Structure 1
């Protein structure tokens, strides 16, 4: 199953209409796909254990041999500085992965870890 989650204005190829695809399974890919069908690899999922853990190798715009290993064990598993840097992307990702629940209110979105 494919899951689209990344803001469309933040792509590597800067192609209008491109989508970022996250195949949520161990061995799944994270990649960008243009409307013409061209793809660029961003990473691979190495562990998929909803709602406890997600691990992946991140190598956007670099050789996969130089990939960064990323592990998410929930929102509070992120270091404080990373929460600020990736704060706008993580809540929808954590919700879709089943790592957090949200109340979607007009004035406030509350979140709790599962």
Structure 2
């Protein structure tokens, strides 16, 4: 059985269709990689794969907070931020007043 175009198919005994794409490569454009470059690429991809697998394993160990805990912690962070901002603003005002009154006359 054939399909028009560059794709041809055949039906084997198990009724599975196999497709092959026919592409002509220009001579000299694609070179077969040597052993060293293949070894380096495999080593690099193995490191990346290992990192992803380790990261996934660590993410499964994480004890994620509930929605209620997240809301509580967010409120706590906002409240502490407001208090610290007020404290620093007050210090800035006091130091500004001292500078204007006693140092810069």
Q: TM-score by structure 1 length?
A: 0.18
Select the structure of larger CA radius of gyration: 2
- Pick 1 or 2: higher relative contact order, CA cutoff 8 A, min separation 6: 1
Q: TM-score by structure 2 length?
A: 0.19
Higher helix residue share = 2
